[in-house]
Structure 1
Amino acid sequence: MKKETISSLQLFYILIGFEFGTTIILGVGSGAKQDVWIAILTAAISSLILMTIYIKLSALYPNYTLLQMLPVIVGKYLAYPIIVLYIGYFIYIAARVCRDFGELMISTILVETPIAVVIGSLMVLMIYCLRGGIETFGRMGEAVFPLFMFSLVIIWILLLTVHSFNITNLTPVLGNGIKPVLKEVFPNTLTFPFGESVIILMFIPFLNNKKHAGRVGFAVILIGGTLLSINSILILSVLGPEIYKNDFFPLLSATRLVSIADFLERFDAIIILMMVAGVFFKVGMFTFGAAVGISHLFNVKNTKSILLGIGMILTPLSLLIGDNFIRFLEIGLEFITVYIHPVLQMIIPFSLLCIGFMRKKFQSRKNHS
């Protein structure tokens, strides 16, 4: 596989888009009611511990992706099932994001279009970009990120003009105590979206300056967490905590209330464009991670055919993981978030860091003796 590199700034842009992904559209942390913004900030600060684990682990093996480290740290026989598990995880999460995107599109602007066509069209564009290499993906980040942020700021300004905007919707602060907030932080908000940044371990080896990996990782968590918190404050101020909790796409619902002089209305298109950009980065990162993992597993140098294969299975897989959207969400909240995310985002990386550190220390002592 041709060795390509991206800059730390490009990785930052991609990861910020990845963090927003579907998160900015969906009602994250809704169980905390008016304290959603506190839950998001708490989860972001807590996830700095996870990012520290990822960066330290990468520093031990700077030229290895997460799946390349595994045979070195735990041995090839134990590593293979874990590698397969991570590849399946990356593909599954990419499929879930595609399903979120498809459901939003067919419920808003493409109501007569089959969801398979919507998701399939996205995958054609995604695979076309990824087959150009990680450098092409990085340049997409540079091109799209400014437009994404500009659109987000415009939406926030428009939300301030809504007649129902009332900052008192955020009160009483911690009116239900700290317990609902902590319950939303772990495992829900900590694992989605912040814990999913474990994918950074598949991209650090492609950085042209790996010393900046820590700065990028921590900046993404802090800036992303702050922006998501601000976004939740504005949505809560418009909709209130009860509607926020029960709405599938609260940002879209809040934006639909915007009406300037009874003339400028229906800013749905901006939300859809933001969703497309966020999904593009999120699906792209997980798809790329899975493709690189498969290339490591089977010692394939060219990932283009692998990317094509993954792209072909993502559309049907996204439709098979839930009979309907409600069941799809239940699987994510009741199974993936509780049992899968913590293991692959926290337990395994932390265990690898401990074992890897001990191995390095033992080898250092052996070399000096």
Structure 2
Amino acid sequence: MKLQKIGALQLFFIMIGFEIGNTLIFGKGAAAKQDAWLTHLGGMVCGLLLMFIYIKLSDYYPGDTLIQMIPKIIGKYLAYPVILYYLFYFTLLASTACRDFGELIYSTILVETPMLIIIGSFMVLMIYCLRGNVESFARMGEVVFPVYILSLLVIWILLLSVDNFTLKNLTPILGNGLKPVLKEVFPKAIVFPFGETVLILMFFPLLSKPQNKRKIGIATIVIGGILLTINTMLNTAVLGPEIYGKDLYPLLSATRMVSIADFLERFDALVILMMVAGVFFKVGGWMYGAAVGIAQFFNLKDYRPIILALGTIIIPLSLLYAGHFIESREFGEEFIDYYLHIPLQIVIPILLVFIAFIRRKFTKKHVDKRYG
């Protein structure tokens, strides 16, 4: 299957949007209280280590996606269950991102609209975009991501004007010790969102200039980590650590407190706009990874017909895997983190790199002996 090529900047827009897409809206690191922002820095450092592993895998097998390199590393028969594991992972994560989007829209602006209609309408847009080609998705990233960042910057500036804003809410730093921060870093801050960039292995073969993949990978983790850290600091400074920890959507709640001259209010619409843009990257990334992976697994010539089938699976799956929002959060923390995120983002990639390294060393020695 021949894949189209995209530029380095286009891939960066896709991956940074994918990484922070729907993460900014949630209160990550809440258990660390006023030190919640430190959990993002810790996750960023660990995320860089994981990114180096992903890049090394791509260096060993240039031009191959994750699905293509697995059989070359561990053999065809052992690869089958691992590949299916990843395909299930990509599909399920697309459905959870859709559910997060649906819950936010349903609870804020479309309270009388059935969840099925909200998610279904968004999925129609997603299918239309992805069935074009990956270049269309990349170009949408070039258009959507600047709007996303502009909206975020406007919100941050507005939060500085809130009466409740005080940097005292961020003190004392490490007042409860380092242990609460470390507990939040592993596994939560690492696997969501930094470890999810394992998806970049499905996009590296698309690069028109493969030598840029290291820069893109590192920039995605570092810039994403900085944006998440600043966002958490501002939310905590406005709401305080206690409210920040209990609120389902702290950024939305903090933005609703903005009031300029008792006239300019209700800026939370910008947060909704950001969520729509963020989920576009998140769901689009997972769906593309799943579609290309399925096409390569079954040796199909084109992945685009699979997009429609995936959409029909993701919509009901997003509604059925949890009964309500709290249950979906618990499902993520109790099942996805430990049975999907950790094995597929950390354990399996490390094993693949180790095995690939041994295979290359063994092959090199064999060649040296034969021709030496």
Q: Give the TM-score, by structure 1 length.
A: 0.99
Indicate the residue corresponding to 2:174 in structure 1.
174
Q: What amino acid maps onto 1:63 in structure 2?
A: G
Indicate the residue corresponding to 1:97 in structure 2.
97
Conserved? CA contact 2:42–2:189, under 8 Å: no
Indicate the residue corresponding to 1:5 in structure 2.
5
Q: Distance between the aligned counterparts of 2:136 and 2:85, measured in 1?
A: 28
Q: Distance between the aligned counterparts of 1:15 and 1:32, measured in 2?
A: 27
Q: What amino acid maps onto 2:366 in structure 1?
A: K
What per-residue deviation string (whole Å, max 9, x for no partner) do you get for residues 80-132 of structure 1?
A: 01000000000001100100000000000111111111111111111111111
Q: What amino acid maps onto 1:201 in structure 2?
A: L
Q: Distance between the aligned counterparts of 1:295 and 1:357, measured in 2?
A: 27
Q: What amino acid maps onto 2:152 in structure 1?
A: L
* Pair 1:360-2:360 in alignment: yes
What per-residue deviation string (whole Å, max 9, x for no partner) do you get for residues 332-355 of structure 1?
A: 012211232110000100100011
Indicate the residue corresponding to 1:49 in structure 2.
49
Aligned residues: 369
Q: Distance between the aligned counterparts of 2:140 and 2:197, measured in 1?
A: 19
CA-CA distance at 1:3 after TM superposition = 2.5
Matches within 5 A, 1:172-321: 172-321=172-321
What per-residue deviation string (whole Å, max 9, x for no partner) do you get for residues 284-342 of structure 1?
A: 01100000110011111111210110011111100111011111110101221123211
Indicate the residue corresponding to 1:17 in structure 2.
17
Q: Distance between the aligned counterparts of 1:116 and 1:304, measured in 2?
A: 24
Q: Give the TM-score, by structure 2 length.
A: 0.98
Q: Distance between the aligned counterparts of 2:169 and 2:204, measured in 1?
A: 41
* Pair 1:83-2:83 in alignment: yes
Conserved? CA contact 2:35–2:181, under 8 Å: yes
CA-CA distance at 1:365 after TM superposition = 2.1
Q: CA RMSD in A?
A: 0.8
Q: Distance between the aligned counterparts of 1:221 and 1:364, measured in 2?
A: 33
* Pair 1:61-2:61 in alignment: yes
Q: Distance between the aligned counterparts of 2:264 and 2:309, measured in 1?
A: 44
Q: Distance between the aligned counterparts of 2:181 and 2:40, measured in 1?
A: 9
Indicate the residue corresponding to 2:36 in structure 1.
36
* Pair 1:147-2:181 in alignment: no
State the secondary structure of the residue aligned to 1:227: helix
Q: Distance between the aligned counterparts of 1:193 and 1:75, measured in 2?
A: 30
CA-CA distance at 1:356 after TM superposition = 0.8
CA-CA distance at 1:2 after TM superposition = 3.8
Matches within 5 A, 1:337-348: 337-348=337-348
Q: Distance between the aligned counterparts of 1:273 and 1:202, measured in 2?
A: 27
Q: Distance between the aligned counterparts of 2:297 and 2:3, measured in 1?
A: 17
Q: What amino acid maps onto 1:158 in structure 2?
A: L
Q: Distance between the aligned counterparts of 1:59 and 1:123, measured in 2?
A: 34
Q: What amino acid maps onto 1:293 in structure 2?
A: G
Q: Distance between the aligned counterparts of 1:154 and 1:361, measured in 2?
A: 52
Q: Distance between the aligned counterparts of 1:241 and 1:184, measured in 2?
A: 15
Q: Distance between the aligned counterparts of 2:82 and 2:239, measured in 1?
A: 43
Q: Distance between the aligned counterparts of 2:304 and 2:344, measured in 1?
A: 26
Q: Distance between the aligned counterparts of 1:145 and 1:151, measured in 2?
A: 10
For structure 1, the 5+ residue unaligned runs are: none
Matched residues, percent identical? 59
What per-residue deviation string (whole Å, max 9, x for no partner) do you get for residues 218-239 of structure 1?
A: 0010011001100000000100
State the secondary structure of the residue aligned to 2:163: coil
Conserved? CA contact 2:159–2:254, under 8 Å: yes
State the secondary structure of the residue aligned to 2:132: coil
Q: Distance between the aligned counterparts of 2:333 and 2:279, measured in 1?
A: 19
Indicate the residue corresponding to 1:156 in structure 2.
156
Q: Distance between the aligned counterparts of 1:143 and 1:365, measured in 2?
A: 50
Q: Distance between the aligned counterparts of 1:2 and 1:73, measured in 2?
A: 22
Q: Distance between the aligned counterparts of 2:315 and 2:77, measured in 1?
A: 32
Q: What amino acid maps onto 2:199 in structure 1?
A: I
State the secondary structure of the residue aligned to 1:296: helix
State the secondary structure of the residue aligned to 1:176: coil
* Pair 1:71-2:71 in alignment: yes
Q: Distance between the aligned counterparts of 1:83 and 1:263, measured in 2?
A: 55
Q: Distance between the aligned counterparts of 1:130 and 1:9, measured in 2?
A: 19
Indicate the residue corresponding to 1:118 in structure 2.
118
